[in-house]
């Protein structure tokens, strides 16, 4: 369950760098019923589960848009975990309601645990350019798992920059993308790790592909858009 929860947090950090295809932003189709399916692969290219997103409860007012992201994660054994969180964009900034991640449905899947979550938003401007540097982001989690067992986790996304533009082909189609490099620092209990990654973003779609690497730059795993509809 700890691995699933951390994956959920990393997935939110990854997906939220894409934003609404409204007057708020050029990225991410924030329209009712839009759905995206991502397939996870391990370092050997073997399928390692899926993540499904669906956009619901979209509301537009003036220059802002808010919606609910419904998320379903299926691991390699076929176990399914579900959650949802609130997302809103206003002007040129998207905001994630981190506390909404801790909904009753999510907590019931984690057993007897109390969770406090906080963080900063990931920002992505409408006009990306190669060489551009982007702000950092983080999520902090404090978990009480019964008795005297506490687990604190901090996930930071740092050194974000636009590396290049390139075309990427996935089972969902071929997309012209900006490639964003970043580093994810995780602090959990006594373990500290840093994972470089690259995310491919396409206008009107959002994240098309993501690759994570170890400290030596070798591929550890990837997530690829396999289905998309709106």
- Domain spanning 2-229: CATH 2.40.360.20: yes
- For residue 166, list its beta bridge partners: 177
- Residue 126's φ and ψ, nearest 5 degrees, are -65, -40
Please state, in angstroms and rounded to a whole number, the distance separating the CA atoms of residues 58 and 9: 22
Q: What is the pLDDT of residue 26?
A: 64
What pLDDT score was predicted for residue 18? 41
Contact criterion met (CB below 8 Å) for 131 and 162: yes
Kindly list the averaged pLDDT for each block of 10 residues, start to end, along the chain of length 230: 55 51 58 90 92 88 80 85 79 66 59 74 76 87 72 86 95 94 85 89 88 91 92
**Residue-level pLDDT at 62:** 72
Query: Which candidate, 197, 227, 193, places its Cα nearest to that of 210?
Result: 197
Enumerate the domain spans of the chain.
Answer: 2-229
Instruction: List the one residue out of 108, 125, 106 whose CA is nearest residue 117.
Output: 106
Instruction: Answer for the pair 124, 18: CB distance below 8 angstroms, yes or no.
Output: yes
What is the SS3 assignment for the chain? CHHHHHHHHHHHHHHCCCCCECCCECCCCCCCCCEEEEEEEECCCCEEEEEEEEEEEEEEECCEEEEEEEEEEECCCCCEEEEEEEEEEECCEEEEEHHHHCCHHHHHHHCCCEEEEEEECCCCCCCCCCCCEECCEEEEEEEECCCCCEEEEEEEEEEEEEEEEEEEEECCEEEEEEEEEEEEEEEECCEEEEEEEEEEEECCCEEEEEEEECCCCCEEEEEEEEEEEC
């Amino acid at each position: 369950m700890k691995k699933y929860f951390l994956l959920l947090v990393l997935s939110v950090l990854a997906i939220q760098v894409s934003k609404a295809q409204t007057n708020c932003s050029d990225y991410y189709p924030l329209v009712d019923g839009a759905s995206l399916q991502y397939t996870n692969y391990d370092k050997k290219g073997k399928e390692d589960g899926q993540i499904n997103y669906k956009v619901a409860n979209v509301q537009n007012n003036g220059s802002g848009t808010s919606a609910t992201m419904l998320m379903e994660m299926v691991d390699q054994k076929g176990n399914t975990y579900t959650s949802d969180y609130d997302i809103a964009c206003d002007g040129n900034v998207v905001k994630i309601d981190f506390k909404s991640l801790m909904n009753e449905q999510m907590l019931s899947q984690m057993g007897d645990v109390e969770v406090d979550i906080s963080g900063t938003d990931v920002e992505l401007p409408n006009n990306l350019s190669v060489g551009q540097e982007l702000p950092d982001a983080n999520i902090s989690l404090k978990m009480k798992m019964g008795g005297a067992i506490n687990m604190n986790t901090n996930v930071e996304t740092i050194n974000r920059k636009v590396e290049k533009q390139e075309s990427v082909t996935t089972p969902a189609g071929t997309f012209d993308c900006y490639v964003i490099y970043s580093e994810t620092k995780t602090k959990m209990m006594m373990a500290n790790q840093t994972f470089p990654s690259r995310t491919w973003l396409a206008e009107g779609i959002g994240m098309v592909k993501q690759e994570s690497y170890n400290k030596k730059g070798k591929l550890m795993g990837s997530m690829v858009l396999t289905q998309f509809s709106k």
